[in-house]
Structure 1
Amino acid sequence: MAVAVYALLSAIAAVLVVLAVPAVAQSGDANGDGRFDGKDIETIDAYLAGTALLQDEQIRAADGDGDGRITGADREKLAGRLMGMTRGQGPGEIQAESADSGVVVDRATGKPLAGVEVSLPDEGVSVRTDSEGRFKLPKSSAGKILTAKADNYAPSAAAGGKRRGFRLELERLSPRLVVLDDRVHHLGDDKYGYGSANYSEFRLQAQGPRLERAFEIDGEPEDLTLRIGSLIGLDTAHSVAAGQSALSQFAGSRPDGLRIYLNDRPLQKIYLNGDNIAVRLPAALLRRGENRLRLETHPLRLPGAAGDELEDLRRRFGLVNYDDVELAHLLLVDSSASARRIRVRGDVVRTPRAGNDGTNP
């Protein structure tokens, strides 16, 4: 009898222990009320604004990408999920996590932006974001440069890949943020083929190996930052190693890439494709008044190939094979204590056609 009573009491205790364990908050339940609804989005907004604190369980529930913190991206993901729950997703509705869709937000506030023009310039495709900043492209963007433009904002760009959906952030224009160029350019000579990085995505005709832009600075110059929105197509030893290019014959080649010049002085080479590439423009190379920036793709050269003298000779006879690349958007960023006024001069400087690198008129 005593044994039976003991067993019964043990079973009751086990049930009580189970009941005493706090329930784990379901995904999205940021306010801990046991359900996922609009109030959870309001809680996340308050947390991101710094007016509310959340417990660890609440943070885990609102952490959409599992990185241990709550960001604007988590908020947009949960908001999109909530919308799908409340009204259903029909075949024609936008799924912001698919490879041909995404959302455009204000970089400072994280708020969605409506009416933004989202384009695939290579395909001549353009759509606009809806009232919640979402967009859906009529065809896949894989490997292509995607651009977003809106009034009073600097343009943004990203190269499509294996990601699920895009999140494009637009930054408001200011005296510290100036658009130097807002288009997509194809640099090279249209000589590219199988295995070259992004070779199947190019549609624009090559405009020559280089792109030049001019701008003016009022007052004594301080360091600036050049920001390249997106760059694809580089075939370098680095891009082969990173799996961006399949031209393994360049794996051991001399380091070369997209060359950047400031006022005719070599500044930097970029070896990898990517988005939002930042390049420092040192005050020592900047001038008060007019400054000229040049971006130039590099001649392709196999490991062990002859040196610069033969390359110069080939260039004179139009025999150089340039690496074909595409880039989108050039921005100038002034982060100095006293922002200098920057003015962009004219349109894109005319570039030589392929086969004439500018050594001949």
Structure 2
Amino acid sequence: MRRIVFLFVCLGVWTAGAAARAASGDVNGDGRVDAGDIRLIDEYLGGTRLLQDEQIKAADADGDGQITATDREMLDRRVSGLAAGSAAPGRSASRGQVDLTSADGGVVVDKATGRPLAGVEVSLPDEKITVRTDAQGRFRLPGTASGKILSARAENYVPSSVTTRGQRGFQLQLERLNPRVQVLDDELVHLGDNNYDRRSAGARQFQAPAAGTRYTRTFALGRLPGQDLQLRIGSLIGIDTEESIAAGQSNLPAAGRREQRAGGVKVRLNGRIIGELLLGGDDIAIALPRQLLRPGANEIALEAALINRSGVVIEPDSFLGKMRGLGLGDMALSPDSLDYDDIEFTHLVIVDPSGKALERREP
């Protein structure tokens, strides 16, 4: 019983200490209120620092649940020895607060300047959940499960995304649209056949129905570039390969995928395979070889891996793959032996390092 009483006493002391800190203006928790606390608030307002829950409470001098320039000024006056006034009676410092270190909170900033961006659309597209950032670039979403794609979009900016992995707090950086980039797609796409093992990578995250097993987009070149272009994929989940199993992205048995010679997502440029994606991830870059590009229209294609459960990966360029392209390939195999790997990806962007080859699209 004495141990239990001692525990409650300790908890009471800790809670009282936290409350005292929250009301003190001691943002950095060093026991003093000085220029160091003001510096943390400046960094927060500038979008370069995230603050924990108790720090936000300590910095909220006027008790309105937000950290603003007013809180900064009040704390500065206090440090300077001037009367600062107290928080409005009866107002809770937690009301309307956004905890940026929680798994479902974060901030969106301009990549070049680091300044917070207001009104950005932040979403979990698979869940059809969308919010917008506040005046300080902050957002809060209802519970964010690990393995989901978190997307951010804003007018005149290149979209950005990240795969949630249980990290605490997000800082998403958006790049302004410029002659170097062309956005091909800013939506979430599910490729496959809606037939996947519950242990597959992304199986618990998939909500949107598959849009088919092959995805294509075109982009136009006003002239041939002097160097390779680049395809960037914002985020990619769901790949089931030996590599993804080894990396902990998929819980399928490695031996089974090895026996099936499971392949990855094929990437094509104007009909030629230029890469195979074996792991999920964020901000994936794929070179678009200059010699395969042509003036005018060019086509990018992503293809889900087609696996014959009898142990053969059916490559699109193989005899069976070409027959399947004509609608005849399945005649040689049992329907139960075929399976497409289900994947999801978002945000396709073409990058032209020179900024001179891509044809500009009307906004």
Using the size of structure 2 for normalisation, the TM-score is 0.72
Query: 3-state DSSP class of the match of 1:321?
Result: strand
Distance in 2 of aligned mates of 1:282 and 1:305:
29
Aligned counterpart in structure 2 of residue 153 of structure 1, from 128, 151, 157: 157
Partner deviation per Cα, 1:39-72 (whole Å, 9 max, x = no partner): 4555x69xxxxxxxxxxxxxxxxxxxxxxxxxx9
2:186 maps to 1:213: no
CA contact (8 A) 1:238 1:251 kept: no
Q: 1:250, 1:303 within 8 Å by CA — same for their partners in 2? A: no
Aligned with residue 243 of structure 2, among 238, 243, 261: 238
Q: CA 1:295 to 1:343, structure 2 compared with 1: closer, same or farther past 3 Å? A: farther
Aligned to 2:279: 272
Q: Secondary structure at the match of 1:76?
A: coil
Kept in 1, the 8 Å contact 2:232–2:350? The answer is: yes
Given that 2:306 and 2:313 are in contact with CA atoms closer than 8 Å, whether structure 1 keeps it comes out as no
SS state of the match for residue 148, structure 1? strand
1:331 equivalent among 325, 349, 352: 349
Which consecutive residues of structure 2, in runs of 5 or more, have no partner in the other structure? Answer: 1-25, 66-92
1:205-262 alpha-carbon deviations (Å, 9 max, x no partner): 1111111001110112331111000000000111001010011121565362110000
Letter in 2 for 1:85: A
Give the alignment partner of residue 299 of structure 2, picking from 292, 305, 310: 292
SS in 2 for 1:36: helix
1:174-323 aligned within 5 A: 174-221=178-225, 222-248=227-253, 249-251=256-258, 253-254=260-261, 256-301=263-308, 304-305=311-312, 315-317=329-331, 319=335, 320-323=338-341
Answering whether residue 167 of structure 2 is matched by residue 163 of structure 1, we say yes
Q: Which amino acid aligns with 2:150?
A: L
Q: Distance in 2 between matches of 1:207 and 1:129?
A: 30
Aligned to 2:70: none
- How far residue 298 of structure 1 moved from its aligned partner, in angstroms, is 0.5
Q: CA deviation at 1:167?
A: 1.3
* Alpha carbons 1:215, 1:344 under 8 Å: kept: no
Q: Which amino acid aligns with 1:268?
A: G
Kindly indicate whether the alpha-carbon contact (under 8 Å) linking 2:222 and 2:295 is maintained by their aligned counterparts in 1: yes
Task: Identify the range of structure 1 (309-318 vs 265-274) with the bigger mean alpha-carbon deviation.
Answer: 309-318
2:357 is aligned to 340
Contact 1:233 1:325 survives alignment (8 Å): yes
Going from structure 1 to structure 2, the CA distance change for 1:343 and 1:216 (only over 3 Å counts) comes to farther
Q: Is residue 2:62 matched to residue 1:85?
A: no
1:220–1:164: structure 2 CA closer, same or farther, 3 Å change rule? same
Task: Please report how far the alpha carbon of residue 126 of structure 1 lies from its aligned counterpart in structure 2 after TM superposition.
Answer: 0.6
Match for residue 36 of structure 1? 36
8 A Cα contact 1:37 1:82, kept in partner? no
Change (3 A) 1:306 1:287: closer
**8 A contact 1:41–1:79 mirrored in 2:** no
CA distance in structure 2 between the aligned counterparts of 1:86 and 1:306, rounded to whole angstroms: 58
| Number of residue pairs matched by the alignment | 290
Percentage of matched positions with identical amino acids: 44
Instruction: Write the letter of the residue equivalent to 2:49.
Output: E
Q: Deviations over 1:167-202 (max 9, x none)?
A: 111110011111011110000000012100010111
Q: Is the 8 A contact 2:214 2:301 kept in 1?
A: yes
In 2, Cα distance between equivalents of 1:322 and 1:288: 34
**In 2, Cα distance between the equivalents of 1:28 and 1:227?**
39
Is this contact kept in 2: 1:188–1:322, CA < 8 A?
Answer: yes
Which residue of 109, 114, 139 corresponds with 2:113?
109
Q: What letter corresponds to residue 298 of structure 1 in structure 2?
A: A
Counterparts of 1:33 and 1:98, CA distance in 2: 25
In the alignment, is the contact (CA less than 8 A) between 2:309 and 2:339 conserved in 1?
no
- Distance of 1:41 and 1:212 partners within structure 2: 46
Pair 1:306–1:132, CA change in 2 (3 A): closer
Tell me how far apart the structure 2 counterparts of residues 102 and 303 of structure 1 sit (CA, whole Å).
46
Describe the shift of the 1:300–1:102 C-alpha distance in structure 2 as closer, same or farther (beyond 3 A).
Answer: farther
SS of corresponding position for 2:306: coil
SS in 1 for 2:50: helix
C-alpha separation in 2, matches of 1:244 and 1:150: 30
